Amino acid sequence: MKNTFVEKICNVGKTAFAADIGRKVDELSRYARYKLKDQWEFIYFELPIDEEMFTFTMREPLVIRPVRRNDIKRIEADIFPFISLAEQHDVRKHMSIIGSKGFNCFIAEKDNIMVHYFLVYDKALASPLIHTPFDQTKIGDGDAYLGSAFTSPHARGMWIMPYSLSKICEYLKSETDATRALLLVNKYTPGAVGFYKRLGFREIENACSSGPVAAVKGNMLKMWNKK
């Protein structure tokens, strides 16, 4: 009987260990794919904020506003069921810095339900953009960065994104020193490139300073020089 109990404990331990190893392998695989492939398929856009801005009026009863700390539980309840675990982790990480200078998040509510979020960094030089292949010599002090965004499936088709972007641009123009907003999309995201171009965003030519092979060689050289 004791042996059976011990065996059960060992089996549970083995199962948990295997699951943990599986998660780590999956994380490493996704990280490698991102570094070697995905991040090199970004298309970078710019939108001059000091020029005449686009405006968009919603026909639906919708509220767009900056997020508050007490919104976090509602975001988890209303939006998390529609996004991946990796995206949930990323949102939680950003929600933890709500109130920090230079970071904001705009949310959309419809019928008192959270249906959309859009991350905003007042300074692109202090944003996740600097961890992409984007040529940092092309980033200035007057550049803001528009990070990840999501709209719940049942709220799509109501043009929430343009309305959210118009509110964000109003905020950047009136509350920050930003004169340009930067944004990136994966070139394989359906309709994303045409969508942002229709809103006035311009594609930045030659945005990356090197390709994946050159980047890997550069990182290896840096590691070698540290020895």
40-81: pLDDT as tens digits:
789 999 999 877 666 666 666 789 999 998 999 999 999 999
- Whether 18 maps to a domain, the answer reads no
Asked if the structure places residue 3 within a domain, the reply is no
The model's pTM is 0.77
Tell me if 120 is assigned to some domain. Answer: yes
Q: Helices 2-36 and 212-226: crossing angle, nearest 10°?
A: 110
Instruction: Name residues whose C-beta falls within 8 Å of residue 107's C-beta, 6 or more positions apart in sequence.
Output: 64, 65, 66, 67, 71, 75, 114, 116, 117, 118
Determine, yes or no, domain membership for 117. yes
Q: Which domain covers residue 110, as residue numbers?
A: 42-220
Cβ burial of 45 (10 Å; 0-12, 13-18, 19+) is buried
Is residue 64 one of the residues assigned to a domain?
Answer: yes
φ, ψ at 68 (rounded to 5°): -120, 160
Work out how many domains the chain is built from and give that number.
1
Instruction: Kindly state the tokens that stand for 220.
Output: 């290896």
Examine residue 23 and state whether it is found in any structural domain, yes or no. Answer: no
Task: Name the one residue in this structure whose structure tokens are 């994380």.
Answer: 27
Confidence of residue 218 (pLDDT cuts 50, 70, 90): very low
Residue 129: C-alpha distances to residues 5, 42, 84, 139, 143 (Å): 52, 11, 21, 9, 11
Which of 150, 158, 148, 146 minimizes the C-alpha distance to 114? 150
Q: Which of 66, 39, 194, 195 is nearest to 129 (CA)?
A: 39
- Among residues 35, 32, 5, which one has the least CA distance to residue 131? 35
| Predicted local confidence at residue 221, as pLDDT | 36
**Cα–Cα distance measured from residue 84 to residue 10, given in angstroms and rounded to the nearest whole number:** 31
> What is the CATH classification number for the domain harbouring 214?
3.40.630.30
First and final C-alpha spacing in the chain = 57
Is the residue at 78 inside a domain? yes
Give residue-wise pLDDT tens across range 164-211: 998 999 999 999 999 999 999 988 887 889 999 988 899 998 888 665
The answer as to whether 5 is a domain residue is: no
The residue that leads in pLDDT, 209 or 217, is 209
Position 208 scores a pLDDT of 85
pLDDT at 5 over 90: no
